Structure 1
């Protein structure tokens, strides 16, 4: 497992499973002749996308960002359509660190789409129960409303199986919230109306987790947004704002979906200057 230190925070990437989605959908209107130079694809035009939660540890607190794709939450057809070749091994990852799912204090959900939220609940016999039974689960207020009352478009990604068992554990915020000193969730919208990002500032170091505003390092260009985005112009606006700000701070950019890099830094020309690769 890969680890990154940001001041008083230690980030470790867990194994949340892997999907393969259509490259055209992941890069929107960008032609394959351009995006294929930045990210590999297979014969079905799919790109590999991890769904790996990030364990953040600081001052005795264990925080998980996103929840992976879970286990046995999809039909055979869904696994085929989403190119699932491996399901979550979060418990095993935590065990390697001397932890279990009961040790998690907070789960931070940048949004509640199924590829981020399936791991919030797990099967116990024939019943779904919370995967992280002692945790507070944070997500943005609009996101939580839409999760439970999706529209005609979003009902395909907001699944009842992923929220019913954890309903009493969820706490919401509107604009921003500091979870622990130095770690803040900020509402951006864009990918979904309630989409949020995460920022860490500690010991003169900064990290930003843009979640699905920048799902991989290849999405660095502010205009390269997904066809899955509900509000693409908002995604572009927020990417431009935070990327300009964070590049000036020489911040780390971390990823949930990237199959190549866990985190990168960009230089003044926009090229990768430092990186943490996935093993």
Structure 2
């Protein structure tokens, strides 16, 4: 497992599985000749996208950011269509840290698309879906929670009833922002989805920002490079531009859930990488 230790914080990436999605869709209108210089692509025009929850501890509480793609949650057709070559083993990752899924106190859900939310539930022997983190408070924006339960003609392809029905009693929502604990904030941005949020964590020495799917990988740093999957691309552009100005000016860390190359990157004010954690393969 990859771990970033800086300041007073430690972040560990759990094994949440992997997908391979169309590179053109992931970079929207950006020509392949440009984006393929920054991110590897296979012969099927697919790019590797991890779905690895980010684990950290703060004030004696155990957090994960997003939940992976679960295990046994996708059909054979879905596994093939989404290029899933490995499903989640979050429980095994936690065991290496001396923890179990019951020890997680908070699940911070940037949004609830299938590749972020499937890991919140698990199948019992009789096929019933049960909470994967039974003692956790699951936090997401009010807009996101409303939409997963009432998807529209477009979003119903990624917001599935079975992904929320078993965990609805654990969910806590917020409107504009929420400070979960001192130094741990979620801020609603919209863009990728209407209810999309980012996570900002401060330990007094360093600041860490997870822009989630408005900047899915380090290669998406250009504010104009947004996904075809984004429901509100102009909102994504404005939000990413705003956040990146703050991130670069203050040399914050960026944490990634999907990036198959980098787990975390710190850019200088001049937009050069000055520190990073690469993913071990």
Equivalent residue for 1:269? 270
- The reply to whether residue 9 of structure 1 matches residue 9 of structure 2 is yes
Q: How does 1:116-155 map to 2 (within 5 A)?
A: 116-125=116-125, 126-155=127-156
Equivalent residue for 1:89? 89
Aligned length in residues: 279
Between the aligned partners of 2:163 and 2:54, the Cα distance in structure 1 is 19
- The reply to whether residue 243 of structure 1 matches residue 244 of structure 2 is yes
- Give the C-alpha shift of residue 271 in structure 1: 2.5
- Give the C-alpha shift of residue 59 in structure 1: 2.0
- Give the C-alpha shift of residue 86 in structure 1: 0.2
- Give the C-alpha shift of residue 258 in structure 1: 0.2
What SS does the aligned partner of 2:166 have? helix
Equivalent residue for 2:100? 100
Equivalent residue for 1:175? 176
Mapped contact 1:63–1:106 kept (Cα < 8 A) = yes
Mapped contact 1:15–1:90 kept (Cα < 8 A) = yes
Which consecutive unaligned segments of at least 5 residues does structure 2 have? none
Between the aligned partners of 2:5 and 2:167, the Cα distance in structure 1 is 30
Equivalent residue for 1:32? 32
From the superposition, tell whether residues 244 and 216 of structure 1 become closer, same or farther in structure 2 (CA, over 3 Å).
same
- Give the C-alpha shift of residue 187 in structure 1: 0.3
Listed one character per residue, the Cα deviations across residues 210-230 of structure 1 (whole Å, up to 9, x for unaligned) are 000100000000000000000
Equivalent residue for 2:203? 202
Q: How does 1:66-85 map to 2 (within 5 A)?
A: 66-85=66-85
Between the aligned partners of 2:90 and 2:143, the Cα distance in structure 1 is 27
Between the aligned partners of 1:265 and 1:35, the Cα distance in structure 2 is 20
Mapped contact 2:250–2:269 kept (Cα < 8 A) = no
Between the aligned partners of 2:39 and 2:205, the Cα distance in structure 1 is 32
What SS does the aligned partner of 1:161 have? helix
Mapped contact 2:223–2:241 kept (Cα < 8 A) = yes
- Give the C-alpha shift of residue 6 in structure 1: 4.6
Greater alpha carbon shift after TM alignment, 96-105 vs 73-82: 73-82
Greater alpha carbon shift after TM alignment, 144-153 vs 196-205: 196-205
What SS does the aligned partner of 2:245 have? helix
What SS does the aligned partner of 2:167 have? helix
Between the aligned partners of 1:17 and 1:69, the Cα distance in structure 2 is 6
Between the aligned partners of 2:240 and 2:194, the Cα distance in structure 1 is 15
Between the aligned partners of 1:153 and 1:167, the Cα distance in structure 2 is 22
What SS does the aligned partner of 1:165 have? coil
Equivalent residue for 1:60? 60
Mapped contact 1:186–1:198 kept (Cα < 8 A) = yes
Equivalent residue for 2:47? 47
What SS does the aligned partner of 1:190 have? coil
Mapped contact 1:18–1:84 kept (Cα < 8 A) = yes
Mapped contact 1:54–1:256 kept (Cα < 8 A) = yes
Mapped contact 1:105–1:134 kept (Cα < 8 A) = yes
